[in-house]
Chain A
Amino acid sequence: MAETTNAPGTIAEVSLENLVQRDDRRQPARGARQVVFDVKDLSVSYDGQPALKDVSLEIYRNYVTAFIGPSGCGKSTFIRCFNHLNALIPGAKIDGKILYHDQDLYGAEVDAVEVRKRIGMVFQKPNPFPKSIYDNVAFGPRVLGMTDNLDDRVEKALHQAALWDEVGHRLKKSALSLSGGQQQRLCIARCLAVEPEVILMDEPASALDPIATTRIEDLMHQLKEEYTIVVVTHNMQQAARVADMTAFFSIERGEEGERSGILVEYDSTDKIFTQPSDKRTEDYVTGRFG
């Protein structure tokens, strides 16, 4: 369990800086925004089949950034590049660069475990472990050796995920006894317990009912005070409600008919939904396509 040690020059140095700055975090004014991820010409292919082509964009600290687009446009593939999750899929190949605080996320010396510790993820379908509520939240801290004051850490994470009032009295109960919406907030708490800087959310509300969805969206508004959030969503209204920045992805057919995802437009959410500069974005957000 000694993954916490770092060679100099790895991402650990950056996070020290982050800890110092964490105190004065708040929604930065436009213009004063700080780049967390700088993506440059990123392409992903699975077994030689291109899934995503030449994406470049910047993701800013304490913003909610939404990726929208039709099914198969590569937005989920894209979000999974930020925490090395594509590396688990045999045959996945990633070209181009993602700079995380100016460090190459796919550099030779980067440890995937260190990356995932700073960049947490919440999945489409709630995936609580078949353990107690407590053990779910404590799993991350335990595998990372952050076991000092574990009880406090678990309680804090559950408070942050707005779940404490509902489960505080039954932490030893199975996580699988919770409702879908509660399970998803538990997954958010689980992710927060390791104190990441960024939270990736891959369609976090698509399996939930409207009320549970609203709670997740409220949570995203609160969490962006402290965290940087990247969210993939099918639901354009959701993007409009929660996101500061929105990236629209679409599918492009190559010369040989192969389909791959491309980034069409990336701008502030207001701009994307009210005066998009690309015809394809306009068609999509007005419901004429997709």
Chain B
Amino acid sequence: MPGALGGGGTRRSGYLSGLVFHGFLLFSLAIGIVTLGALLVTVFLEGWRFVDAVLLFEPPSADPAIAGAEPAILATIFLGVLLIVLTVPIGVGTAVYLEEYADRERWYNRWLEINIQNLAAVPSIVYGILGLAFLVRGLGLGRVLLAGALILTLLVLPTVIIAAREAIRAVPGSIREGAYALGATKWQVVWRQVLPGAAPGIATGSILALSRALGETAPLLLVGALTYVSFNPTLLGDFTALPVQIFQYITRPQEEFRGVAAGAIIVLLVILLMLNSVAIWVRNRYQRKW
């Protein structure tokens, strides 16, 4: 029966819908890539001439020829370091508590979980308002870099917690049981097996959250990131940040400032790419196969 291998009409339509679906997938992919590509090309064409020593090492100025972004670049790096120092321990600690210690039957643990999930969906401007009311005015911290770092920490903490929980959950139960069966205490199981096993996932999640935070503008504007800062930032001083600086340059009337802004965007992209490559390095370094 040679005809039996040919398949009937229903098989044909099956192939057709497979092709349509395949086409749809390629289309979705194309939208993402083309948009990103167009943005990158425009920015690079406009901005690469402005990425120079002036941009990197000079303060902002009303004259586009000598306008730099050093205070903003430094502040963004400061913010990044503070964010890692503040977010990773608190986020991982919370995730370990929720995954390894919390009794899910307790109402307060369930309440905590729901809250964290909801917080991850709160718009960043709301965090900005919280920062203004609670940190800047309530605690009297003032419009300083530390207030900005704290509010960005609150902003990304839910994301870091969720990513760390996923990573901890991905460590197989058989590994925990194996460690317990050898007489390890709960602390030893968590510290010596679960956390090392979850490290790649935690690193990836944290750095992605950090990248997002460093691109944020709205909450920083509310807690007082200034559009014009001509001196380098300190922990308890006035500050600006790269996204704020970019926004400020774009709103200037002179045409050249758009180039300066594009240059600053390239610098921000490079900082973010460097952070992402750290994440990839950590992930590969601690890669686990179960």
B138 in the interface, Cβ–Cβ < 8 Å? no
* Cβ-neighbour of B185 out of A139, A143, A190 (below 8 A): A143
Q: Determine the residue in chain B with the shortest Cβ distance to A1.
A: B188
* Contacting pair B182 A116 (CB below 8 A): yes
- Among B105, B174, B192, B289, the residue within 8 A (CB) of A125 is B174
| Residues on the B chain within 8 Å of A123, using CB | 174, 177-178, 181
Q: Is the interface of B mostly helix, strand, loop or mixed?
A: helix
Tell whether A120 is near chain B: CB-to-CB under 8 Å.
yes
Q: Which of A5-47 contact B (CB under 8 A)?
A: none
Inter-chain contacts of B250 with A (CB < 8 A): none
**B188–A88 CB distance below 8 A:** no
- Chain A min CB distance to B93 (Å): 21
Instruction: Contact check, A85 vs B177: say whether CB atoms are below 8 A apart.
Output: yes
A143 and B289 contact, CB distance less than 8 A: no
Of the candidates A121, A130, A176, A191, the one having the most CB atoms from chain B within 10 angstroms of its own CB is A130
Partner of A121, one of B103, B181, B188, B290: B181
Q: A129 touching B185 by the CB < 8 A rule?
A: no
Cβ–Cβ contact B192 & A143, under 8 A: yes
Query: What chain B residues lie within 8 Å of A90 (beta carbons)?
Result: 103-105
- Residue B184 lies at the interface, judged by CB distance under 8 Å to chain A: yes
The reply to whether A191 and B181 form a contact with Cβ atoms under 8 Å apart is yes
Residue A205 lies at the interface, judged by CB distance under 8 Å to chain B: no
Q: Does B180 contact A (CB under 8 A)?
A: yes
B193 lies within 8 A of chain A by Cβ:
yes
Interface residues of A (CB under 8 A from B): 1, 3, 83, 85, 88, 90, 113-114, 116-117, 120-121, 123, 125, 127-130, 139-140, 143-144, 176, 187, 190-191, 194
Q: With A88-B180, A129-B175, A143-B188 given, name 12 new contacts (CB 8 A).
A: A83-B181, A88-B177, A90-B105, A127-B172, A127-B175, A130-B196, A130-B288, A139-B184, A140-B182, A140-B184, A187-B178, A194-B182
Q: Please list 5 pairs of residues, one from A and one from B, whose beta carbons are closer than 8 Å in the complex, sorted by A's number.
A: A127-B175, A130-B197, A190-B182, A191-B181, A194-B183
Across the A-B interface, give the 8 residue pairs with the lowest CB-CB distance, nearest first. Answer: A140-B182, A127-B174, A117-B183, A121-B181, A143-B184, A116-B183, A127-B178, A130-B288
